[in-house]
Structures are given as structure tokens and as C-alpha cells.
Homo-oligomer: A and B are copies of this chain.
């Protein structure tokens, strides 16, 4: 049996190696137009910053390596066309310029994706880069080492843009990020994205949201960008990071079905519409596990799974891909940002009835040195009580919690189950009640309607609508003085029993503290004393990122008191 694989990075090489393991006699040929193969695309920002100092670390393997397994990898070979009728590919040897054809019994397409390049004036100037493969990184490193740029502009506030913001800062540049959407990280909910924005601003990264680049100016090399808000940004280095498209142009007209975004349509067996032709990785569509809908989330981890499944099924297997949760994670400076499953945005699009909660908890017990808080935003479905989504922003231990939550969501666990999980506790690693347990406890309370919850967005809406409600701050007067919600009254928790008669029983009360522990108790006290419409501000004031809601200390302000 003769197998051709197009693409020699994550999806392609995983498929090729799976074929080899399943079929010792198989003839396996892999074509890639690049000369770097099987590289770690996710490591490129770290290669540029110098955290990874060795090019060989991110491209550890060459064609020679795969010879050991009798897999014939031909680099600098571009597949120009797939002839599905005659089961052959037309290939151009980029070294010689010669074109030839080769036949296959089974074909696996794993050509990946390429960066979107906006068609605007000045885009061809020197000093404007994309970052997708190792040669892009080489070019960027060379430019930086030649011209020592001082002012970097990053177009696109996704995770590649942010990883590169860190890399360029580390290299000594001023960094400005321009993002077309209202917030950076448009795949996150905006409350969580704002946590990242304010962190980045503290780190000295300028962020311009709801803004796009109209044109670049310069003289051979880029000098500045003109933005849609009329402003100019001086920049002698530009990274375009506005997303990627599946590299499937060569398939147009081949008969292999593509989706509107260019992704190859595959079923759960990684089969295209053409018998014997499979696709895997960033060139192909994936499905969101929780609703079965097509999604395009090109990630190395998914490409590996798809490659293995394609290889298995190309050799006669029947392995199904169960779909993705769109789990992702990245580090920017000391912050980790991660998500899995539904965001509020996605849940609303799907018409799912959900409740949402925010918890801010230390990643390990506070008794142990180095404990740091993280904020988890969680979504649970009202009808099923299943946990369906989580987003986390924090400095330590975020990767653990997102993976535990991704596993729980994958398995269909409820918020009640989360509390019961037997997670590993010792002081260097967690708390006796892990943040994941708190997610379970808090969300179960909401779902039981023992507790009502109010997000900062809903609070702002209530304010803007002029609804009649009281905001109650149960922290100390000192804490209140530094920062509080606009118009909030201050009754410290320990005085609540005695002073609650000052509060109106018929009105909505929105109670908060720093991160939700004391306000949770205050909410109980009020509910048990006949206050019926008591809401807890989700995550407390430490989670409030809408500046419109906040009033900050002026030296002579004193707390208002009912």
C-alpha cells in the first residue's frame, strides 16, 4: 500500500508515523514545500525572545531522522494539485523546478495554515512580518539583529500577538498592540480579556482596541502606521497577527470539499468526501464537542490527534475523533490565560441557558510560600447542571485547573461532581479545597437558586437602566474608602445583623466584598432574614474591570452610610 502525506509538521508526521506503526510494509512518502519539518510552531515566539536559544530545539528532526522508520520525507517539494480520479499528486521540486506526478493508494492532506495578510497600503514595506514557521522567525531575528528596532506594533491581540508582545518587550522594544475588536483576546469573554489588558498595561504594553490599521508608511522600511481612529503609531517593526487561513488553495477544483473558510471538510474519521483521502491538522475543519458545530481552532495539540486518527483510519482502522473543547492556554509575562468549552458569547449564540460565576482563589494554600491568586470564570448549564465552560487568568497553577476542568467538561460532569473530585492535596501543590472545588460549590449554589449572582456587566446594565436597587459593600470602611462600587453603602459584615433594618426588604440588594467570601455569608444572612432579592456580585470587587462601576479614593471621601 502506498501512502502520500502532504505536509510534514504536526498532523502530517503524526499520521505518517501512525501508518508506519500500523503497517510495516507500507510505502510512505511525505512532501513538504518547506525545508524545516516537524517543528514546534508554538515555540516560535520563545525562539525569537531567546528563551529557547537553539534553533535545533524547535526543529529537532530532519528527513534523515525519519529514514530510521522507513518514512521518506521530501522537503522543498510543493504539491501543486491532487488528481482524485487518477489518485495522484502533481509535485514541484522547489530545488530543481521540475514537476512530476506520483500516485497513491491513500492520501493524507496536512498542509496546515498560513497567516492572513491584510491588503492595505504599505504592507510590502520592510520590517513588516508574520510569524508562522521557522523561516518567519529566522527573518524576524535577522531583522532585529540588523536594525535594532525600538518601536514595535503588533496588529492583532490574539495569543500569538500577546506572546510576541512579551518577546519584543524582553528584547527591549516599546510595544503597542492594535486590535480591531472591542477587547484583545476576542475568543475570551470581555470581562476576562480586560483582566489581561490591565495587566499588560501595567507591564508597559500599549493597547488600542476597536482600532485597525489603515496603512503603513515608511521609506523602504516601515516607519509608522496610520490607524482607523486617526492616530499615528511610530513603528520600526510590525508583526501581523490577525489570524490564519487553511492552506488549501491548491485543492480548489480538485473535488475535495472545502468549507467557506477554506478548511477541508472531514468527518469524525478524518475522511474527506473522497474515498481514500484524509485530512488532518490546521488545514481541516474540527467540531466543537459540546454542540457538534464546525469550528476553526488551529492548534498543534488538535493536529496531533487528527493526524493519529487519520493514520489509523487510512490503514483500515475506525477511530473517531470526539471533537474539541477549544481548550487553549498561553503565557504572557508572568500571567497565564486559559480557556476551555463555552464562553458566555458562545453560549448566548447557541441559546444555552446557563449560569455564570467568578471565583478568585489561591493556587496553593496561603500558608505555603509563593501562593498566588487566580480568577476562574465558569459556566454551567441550568437544565443539566453540567459545567460547560471555564476561563482562567492567573500567574500560577492555571494550567492544572484548566486541564482538570477540560477533563470534567469532556466527561460531562456537573458542578456537584466538581466538589466531590478527589484531587491531590499537599501544601506545595494546592489547597485542601482546590479552586476547582470552589467552582463546584459556588456554581451549585447558583444553580440551586440558593444564591443569585450578578455579573459586573449586568450591574452596569441595571445602573444604566436606572433600576431601583441597593449596592451593599460588606468590607471594612478602610477598604471601602480606597475603592468601591459607585453609590454603594458600606456595612461591614460583622455589623450586618444589627444594621440590616436600615436596608429596604423590597428592593434588590447587590452585595459584594473583595472576592466573594464575606458577601456570600452576607447574602445568607439577608436571605434568612426575609430579603428576597439579594444578589452576590460575581467574583467580588477584585474582579470588576469595568471602570465605569468604580469610585476610587480621594483623600477626604468618607463612606456613605445608610
Contact = CB atoms under 8 A, between A and B. Distances in A.
Given A301-B433, A365-B40, A328 B424 contact: yes
Nearest to A58: B367
B305 A529 contact: no
Interface in A4-21: 10, 20-21
Contact of A406 (B58, B299, B322, B421): B421
Interface stretch (A81-89, A200-208, A397-405): A397-405
Given A399-B400, A407-B408, A289 B422 contact: yes
Nearest to A331: B428
Contacts of A338: 424
A288 to B, nearest CB: 10
Contacts of A42: 365, 425-427, 432
A425 B329 contact: yes
Nearest to A336: B429
Contacts of A434: 301, 403
Contacts of A411: 407-408, 411-413, 417
B305 A420 contact: yes
Q: Which of A68, A329, A428 has its CB near the most chain B CB atoms (within 10 A)?
A: A428
B430 A399 contact: yes
Given A60-B367, A368-B52, A406 B432 contact: no
A463 interface: no
Contacts of A308: 419, 441
Interface in A47-75: 51-52, 57-58, 60, 68-70
Contacts of A365: 40, 42-43
A434 B302 CA distance: 12
Interface stretch (A109-117, A177-185, A236-244, A517-525): A517-525
5 contacts: A51-B369, A300-B425, A329-B429, A331-B428, A403-B404
A304 interface: yes
A410 B308 CA distance: 27
A178 to B, nearest CB: 23
A232 to B, nearest CB: 34
Interface in A380-424: 399-400, 402-404, 406-408, 410-413, 417, 419-424
Given A60-B367, A330-B426, A407-B423, 4 more contacts: A46-B368, A302-B422, A322-B417, A406-B422
B21 A521 contact: yes
Interface in A492-535: 493-494, 497, 520-521, 524-525, 528-529
Best-surrounded residue of A40, A321, A412, A432 (most CB of chain B within 10 A): A432
A423 to B, nearest CB: 5
Given A46-B427, A52-B367, A408-B407, A422 B325 contact: yes
Contact of A300 (B10, B304, B408, B432): B432
A366 interface: yes
A159 B427 CA distance: 13
A25 B421 CA distance: 31
A327 interface: yes
Ranked nearest first, the 10 interchain pairs of A and B with the lowest CB-CB distance are: A411-B411, A329-B424, A24-B528, A301-B425, A399-B429, A400-B400, A325-B422, A327-B422, A57-B367, A300-B432
A23 interface: yes
A186 to B, nearest CB: 18
Contacts of A436: 403
Interface in A446-500: 493-494, 497
A550 interface: no
A225 to B, nearest CB: 28
Contact of A301 (B60, B68, B422, B493): B422
A389 to B, nearest CB: 12
A324 B424 CA distance: 11
A536 interface: no
Nearest to A430: B399
